[in-house]
Amino acid sequence: MSTRFMTVTALLLALALVAGCETAGPTAIPSGASAAPGPDVVTPAPTASLPLATVPPAATAAPPTPTATATALPLTGSGGGVLAYCYQPRSGLHQIYAINADGSGNKKLIDARIGLNHHDWSPDALKFAAVGYVDGGTTWSIHVFNADGTGLTRLTDAAGVWDSEPAWSPDGTKIAFTRIYPDQNGRNEIWVMNADGSDPHWSGVEGFAAKWSPPTGGTRFIYVSNRSGNYEIYTAQIDGTDERRLTETSANEMFPTWSPDGSRIAFSASTGEFNTTDNTKTYEIFVMNADGTGVQQLTNNDVLDDYPRWSPDGRLIAFGSDLAASEHWEIYVMNADGTDVRRVTTTPSNATAINAVWRPDR
């Protein structure tokens, strides 16, 4: 299965097929795992920029068990902070790891019996929300677990849907997520529930990958929708009212996220020929003002740069890219103005690192 980003639905379908190969069994719940060190990360090689949330090609052989580092280094935040990411073998279970932004201290956070991906750190940095693949991968459910890898708990249990992209509210009391209906042409809705999984309900927003406005507000979502024929960026009140469209282009704009102070938005957008099988090679990272003005391109590669995330202090942006090798995604960071791009992770040839999320300031 080649990794071709034609639409979010196509991308998620590909991921669903991969996830189906990863699940250990229906509704399996992992044991509270020990946080054993993960794949060894070598000294980061300075390179350039990256692309959008990705899925590796289908596996043909199981990857070797990641080797533990000789001495586990602490997650001190050296290099500008700590990043949690999904370690994605081409065969086997996706799991969540953490690493310092300078590439040191790589650590496996949980050893679950189901694949985990598309994660978000709680505002107090004590928990994660993540997607868990169950029912042979046909159902995606939101789970939470403690940052030490214990207490994995399933929150959503609707069968036959894909609950994805969980995002904690700034006060930590609620979780927003995208509910995707694969039997309805990939229709997607933004849902909200309490942090314990109670009161799940549709917010009134039709869209994908919502993020809450920063802690000073927390009353709006930013998300994308393809109702116009391609993916554009919108904001709305968390009850779905007062929707505003921020972009209007022929490109796909994806994975928008506000800066910590709410003044800027980072996102990934296609810059090559629209909706072709080569489209994965032409996504770049952009920033713009919160009202959609002042668009600025930060990366300039012939690769897929995606899933930008601001550091808690707003100085850095993490993103994923297959800059080093086609369809081999790694985590990178750069300054918020696009300078000083540097590679954080170095995974084996039969695995990738995707979907980086910064640990909140504690």
* Residue in the block written with tokens 């993103």: 319
pLDDT of 271:
82
Written as six digits, the tokens of 32 are 């509270």
pLDDT of 281:
59
Dihedrals phi, psi of 343, to nearest 5 degrees:
-85, 135
Identify whether the C-beta of residue 207 lies closer than 8 Å to the C-beta of residue 188.
yes
Distance from C-alpha of 145 to C-alpha of 23, rounded to nearest angstrom: 18
Identify whether the C-beta of residue 224 lies closer than 8 Å to the C-beta of residue 205.
no
Q: How many CA atoms lie within 13 A of 131 on its CB side?
A: 31
Please provide the average confidence, as pLDDT, over all residues in the chain: 81
Written as six digits, the tokens of 299 are 């990366």
Question: Looking at the predicted structure, is the pLDDT value of residue 123 above 70?
Answer: yes
Distance from C-alpha of 76 to C-alpha of 203, rounded to nearest angstrom: 37
* Residue in the block written with tokens 């954080």: 344
Mind listing the domains of the chain with CATH numbers? 8-61+75-358 (2.120.10.30)
- Report residue 24's pLDDT band, with 50, 70 and 90 as the boundaries: very low
Q: 3-state class of 76 per DSSP?
A: coil
In this predicted model, which residue has the larger pLDDT, 43 or 167? Answer: 167
In this predicted model, which residue has the larger pLDDT, 288 or 54? Answer: 288
Written as six digits, the tokens of 281 are 């090679």
In this predicted model, which residue has the larger pLDDT, 148 or 272? Answer: 148
pLDDT in tens, 32-52: 333 333 333 322 333 333 233
Partnered with residue 265 across adjacent β-strands are: 258, 288
Identity at 258, one-letter amino acid code: W
- Report residue 15's pLDDT band, with 50, 70 and 90 as the boundaries: very low
Question: Looking at the predicted structure, is the pLDDT value of residue 240 above 60?
Answer: yes
Q: How many residues does the chain have?
A: 362
The answer for 177, left when phi > 0, alpha when psi is -120 to 50, beta otherwise, is beta
Distance from C-alpha of 296 to C-alpha of 286, rounded to nearest angstrom: 6
In this predicted model, which residue has the larger pLDDT, 71 or 244? Answer: 244
pLDDT of 127:
98
Q: 3-state class of 46 per DSSP?
A: coil
In this predicted model, which residue has the larger pLDDT, 95 or 2? Answer: 95
- Least confident window among 98-102, 239-243, 255-259, 325-329: 325-329
The CA radius of gyration of the chain, in Å to the nearest whole number, is 18
Distance from C-alpha of 121 to C-alpha of 309, rounded to nearest angstrom: 12
pLDDT of 72:
44
Question: Looking at the predicted structure, is the pLDDT value of residue 70 above 80?
Answer: no
Closest CA to 11 of 259, 283, 221: 283
pLDDT of 93:
94
pLDDT in tens, 75-109: 999 999 999 999 999 889 999 999 999 999 999 99
Distance from C-alpha of 65 to C-alpha of 361, rounded to nearest angstrom: 32
pLDDT in tens, 277-328: 445 557 999 999 999 999 999 999 878 999 999 999 999 999 999 999 888 9
Partnered with residue 87 across adjacent β-strands are: 95, 353
